[in-house]
Amino acid sequence: MPKHAARRVMTATAAAVGALALGFTATPAHSTTSLDYVALGDSYSAGSGVLPVDTSNLLCLRSTANYPHVIASRTGARLKDVTCGAAQTKHFSQAQYPGVAPQTNALGADTDLVTLTIGGNDNNTFINAVTACGTAGVLSGGKGSPCKDRHGTSFDDQIDANTYPALKDALRSVRAKAPNARVAALGYPWIVPATADPACFAKLPIASGDVPYLRGIQAHLNAVVERAAKETGVTYVDFSAASEGHDACKAAGTRWIEPLLFGHSLVPVHPNALGERRMAEHAMSVLGLG
């Protein structure tokens, strides 16, 4: 019997004996204190830009206040954090940098829980879309939809043609290396609001017509992550409702994502400390942890 299974049997037995001794009927409970937890993923998992920085690997710009650390601290799980800023799906199976092993090398038969965010860096989707739309927005003075007019469906086409199959392969590799684990793929919290906010242009210079365009690209990416998760037996953690009203246009203390300009992080358009905590809390709620 695998050690994680044996631990669960002993925990459940002890709980049942204790309950019977007190005259109660034992009720199953999900214990997280013995979970072997591995965190995979990109900068949204790594918490890039959130202090304090994990000095054990500066290349990955990983924070010790990222959502995996929050989950581990609140559940008592034993965390192995191999998240890495700028990671793509391919870095689950190949080294991202010299000395940085493929992320799935951290997994094993004794792994109980895996969380991840991945896919946003494939095709450089996030950085290319934000950069292209930000540049077009500045040049247009915030009017019209210059980014959509120029790029059309190109970002969405790349997501379907490249990101989706890569996500399925990556999630299959996780399942194969951690066959006994519960695996959760987190979606990406909203970066922009549903409609343009003129007061936000100085912080996020996206033209009014390109705000829904950029949001649509993110919604498409999240839908692809959800589809790949369902097709590989992975739990999808949906942030479309939870992160509504916490985009980069909101005030500090409300926003989960820092804006492109005049934000409070060295890594813009990424979750801040509040965002990482809220991502942890929502993931825990979906997974029934803590």
List active site positions. Answer: 43, 270
Give the span between the Cα atoms of 290 and 278, in whole angstroms: 14
| Residue keyed to tokens 């292209």 | 132
Ramachandran quadrant class, 11 (left: phi over 0; alpha: psi -120 to 50; beta: rest): alpha
Q: Find all residues with CB under 8 Å of 223, minimum gap 6, and list them.
A: none
For 162, the 3-state DSSP assignment is helix
The phi and psi torsions of 251 (rounded to 5 degrees) equal -70, 155
Structure-token match 């980014």, residue found: 147
Look at residues 105, 101, 45, 56 and name the one whose alpha carbon lies nearest to residue 275: 45
Reported as type and span, the H/E element at residue 223 is helix 210-231
Name the DSSP letter for residue 53. B
Radius of gyration of the chain (CA): 20
Question: How is residue 265 written in tokens?
Answer: 């992080």
61/43 Cα distance (integer angstroms): 8
Q: What do you get for the CA distance between the two ends of the chain, in Å?
A: 25
- Look at residues 106, 61, 41 and name the one whose alpha carbon lies nearest to residue 80: 106
**Cβ atoms of 121 and 91 closer than 8 Å:** no
Q: In what order do the strands lie in the sheet with 235-237?
A: 78-81, 36-39, 113-116, 182-186, 235-237
